[in-house]
Structure 1
Amino acid sequence: MAINKAMKIALKALSYPDLDIKKNYKIHRQINTAMHPYLKPRYKIWDHTITGIDHEIPVRIFMPSKASFDKADRVLIFFHGGGWVIGNIDSYSNVCYNMANQTGAVVVSVDYRLAPEHRFPLGLEDCYTVTREVFLNSTLFGVSMDDITIIGDSAGGNLAAAVSLMARDKGEFNISRQILFYPSTHNDHSDETGFPSISKFGKDYLLTSKRIRDYMDLYISSENDLSNPYLAPLIAKDLSNQPKTLIITAEYDPLRDEAEAYGRKLKEFNNTVYIYRMKDALHGFISLPKHFVHVKGSYEIISKFLNNEL
């Protein structure tokens, strides 16, 4: 459904005034969790931890309702959104449960450390550690490495792209596929950045450009991080040898253009890339209930991508 005049008025009211995320990020976390209640009895899950360098990384494993752990066809490693500052495996459990059922895959949701308590690159290191563990012990799920895909939305899409770059650079394992929902890929979200979607949709469409900048300020450890391609994959000088990539963007999203630019740059380095823009969609739409048209459409595309039918 297109965004009509009444809906635009409602969106503007919800987008302004923008609460100061830098001062109130803990309140934002509480609100985010309350808006996405975790209904554990519905899920066929396994809570687990993976050992990091100096701490345990929680993960939650979701099974499709008609599958068992020894009959998985594929695995999706999921990194949640929230600007690297909010969100957790509880607030994204409904999303992951639906993802498992829609794709028939085991979904491994990673509860990486959040900023500003744990700034870049600590959350990324958690995501990489879990990904390495799953890839190097893929027999745990009875699947091959080629049947393991990394996936993330927004900041989680950024983390997925960075994990792919890091995996190539470290050479410990090969990622064959990645799925990026409206990822943050750049280091500049001012109106002067050159991406029209920032100026067109950066104020009245729920996610504002100010909030994106505030999230990034909370995430980085210093200004030097802004020149690091693991923080902003779009600035990477070399994007060769990246996984087959599916990028799904939202029409009314300030991050739309940089996400699509990342897909085009991946193509320039001879990677296989599919870019789909969801018409009339807002940033964060994958968290909507499963019957919403954008959610249903996305999983139709994802299923074709996973089955090599695109």
Structure 2
Amino acid sequence: MQLTPKIKQILNHLESIQPFNPQDSLDGARKFLETMSLQLSGKKESVTMIEELHIPQENHQIPIRIYRPKGRDVQQSPAIIYIHGGWFIAGGYESHDAVVRKLANKTGAVVIFIDYRLAPEHPFPAGLNDCIDGVKWVFENAESLGIDTDKVGIIGDSAGAALSTAVSTQLGKHLKFQVLIYPAVDNQLNSKTWETYENGPVLNKQGGMEAWAGYLPEDEKDNPLAIPVLIRDFKETPPTLIILAEHDPLLDDGKQLSANMENAGIKLKTSLYKDMVHGFMHMGELLEEVQSAVNEMAEFAHQNLKSGE
């Protein structure tokens, strides 16, 4: 494994992060992701407006954050729904704030960030249901949100990419595109790249097994909506861009998902980011590849939103 000096510098920094006063290992994992993002993402871009709302459900509310890009009229705007990563157990507004701001400004789209319920407190399908209900709510309230329903896509990273893949098999006919960033789509963790990178960088197998155990109830172990690598019928999945990282234990799982989508006839582009590690989108302070990936996602979004013009 040949790592670049910048990646080595980042990994050395990650080893030094001490989450503040963690209550337990789960709290520590959540605080680690936030700390990593805050320290390594770089200067946050300004946007025109950020709004926080709660979508009422029967027994709970789904928090969402709406980012309006710089220089954009709020009427009839394209929109991107963002589903965050964090092994299904971590992540939220703060861990992904810098990335989402970049995406809003570069795409010129309103970004709706869904803060779905996390495992293990809320195992599958709670988080997926929140994402599906959140997407439906966006379309139902598009007029008041100033969103053009013919120009909506979805982006997810890591665990969020798994959720996005499942969402798009259910609601893909409404979506113009999908971007999956280093997707976490298989609970087996038995690929060649998992063998190579069992102890990292960034992810490790033990942590992955614990996360999946907390997320996936025993009676859902064969459910393709929980484990997207099992999906064979992608139904109305829209054109999809998959972004992969070279030194990522999830690389082979992402390649398998890509092959499955290709076999199903999905319009697909797969990009491998050489030298990158899992979570590199949070490392914009040092990695120019973050902006390269944002640019690629924006170009893909624009290409696939043209049909709605």
TM-score range, shorter chain: 0.7 to 0.9
Q: What residue in structure 2 maps to residue 212 of structure 1?
A: 208
Q: Within 5 Å, which residues of 2 pair with 1:59-70? A: 59-70=64-75
- For the structure 1 residues 7 and 134, does the alpha-carbon distance in structure 2 shift closer, same or farther, using more than 3 Å as the test? closer
Q: What residue in structure 1 maps to residue 27 of structure 2?
A: 26
Q: What residue in structure 2 maps to residue 149 of structure 1?
A: 153
1:287 deviates by: 1.4
3-state SS of paired residue (2:224): coil
Alpha-carbon displacement from aligned partner over 1:156-204 (angstroms, at most 9, x marks no partner): 1111001112326xxxx63231110001111201xxx3x2211112213
- Alpha-carbon distance between aligned partners in 1 of 2:275 and 2:55, rounded to the nearest angstrom: 39
Q: Within 5 Å, which residues of 2 pair with 1:49-88? A: 49-70=54-75, 72=77, 74-88=78-92
- For the structure 1 residues 299 and 65, does the alpha-carbon distance in structure 2 shift closer, same or farther, using more than 3 Å as the test? same
Q: Please, which of 229, 233, 237 is the counterpart of residue 238 of structure 1? A: 233
Q: Is the 8 A contact 1:15 1:204 kept in 2?
A: no
Alpha-carbon displacement from aligned partner over 1:118-144 (angstroms, at most 9, x marks no partner): 111101111111111112333334443
Q: What residue in structure 2 maps to residue 179 of structure 1?
A: 179
Q: What residue in structure 2 maps to residue 273 of structure 1?
A: 268
- Alpha-carbon distance between aligned partners in 2 of 1:50 and 1:279, rounded to the nearest angstrom: 39
Q: Is the 8 A contact 1:11 1:204 kept in 2?
A: no
Give TM-score scaled by structure 1 length: 0.85
1:68 deviates by: 3.7
- Alpha-carbon distance between aligned partners in 1 of 2:204 and 2:154, rounded to the nearest angstrom: 27
Question: Across the two proteins, how many residue pairs are aligned to each other?
Answer: 295
3-state SS of paired residue (1:186): coil
Structure 2: give runs of 5+ residues left out of the alignment: 305-309
3-state SS of paired residue (2:270): strand
1:282 deviates by: 0.6
Q: Is the 8 A contact 1:246 1:273 kept in 2?
A: yes
The one-letter amino acid of 1:175's match is L
1:299 aligns with 2:300: no
1:122 aligns with 2:126: yes
Q: What is the CA RMSD across the aligned residues, in angstroms?
A: 2.9
Give TM-score scaled by structure 2 length: 0.86
- For the structure 1 residues 136 and 30, does the alpha-carbon distance in structure 2 shift closer, same or farther, using more than 3 Å as the test? same
The more displaced of 247-256 and 293-302 is: 293-302
Q: What residue in structure 2 maps to residue 137 of structure 1?
A: 141
- For the structure 1 residues 157 and 6, does the alpha-carbon distance in structure 2 shift closer, same or farther, using more than 3 Å as the test? closer
- Alpha-carbon distance between aligned partners in 2 of 1:292 and 1:13, rounded to the nearest angstrom: 14
Q: Is the 8 A contact 2:229 2:257 kept in 1?
A: yes
Q: What fraction of aligned residue pairs are identical, expressed as a percent? A: 30
The more displaced of 252-261 and 159-168 is: 159-168
- For the structure 1 residues 207 and 40, does the alpha-carbon distance in structure 2 shift closer, same or farther, using more than 3 Å as the test? closer
Q: Is the 8 A contact 1:83 1:216 kept in 2?
A: yes
- For the structure 1 residues 37 and 176, does the alpha-carbon distance in structure 2 shift closer, same or farther, using more than 3 Å as the test? same
1:5 deviates by: 7.9
- For the structure 1 residues 145 and 202, does the alpha-carbon distance in structure 2 shift closer, same or farther, using more than 3 Å as the test? farther
The one-letter amino acid of 2:28's match is I
The more displaced of 37-46 and 244-253 is: 37-46
- Alpha-carbon distance between aligned partners in 1 of 2:187 and 2:126, rounded to the nearest angstrom: 18
1:65 deviates by: 1.8
Q: What residue in structure 1 maps to residue 307 of structure 2?
A: none
The one-letter amino acid of 1:62's match is Y
- For the structure 1 residues 202 and 62, does the alpha-carbon distance in structure 2 shift closer, same or farther, using more than 3 Å as the test? same
- Alpha-carbon distance between aligned partners in 2 of 1:271 and 1:261, rounded to the nearest angstrom: 14
Q: Is the 8 A contact 1:148 1:176 kept in 2?
A: yes
Alpha-carbon displacement from aligned partner over 1:228-264 (angstroms, at most 9, x marks no partner): 0011111123223311101001000011111121112
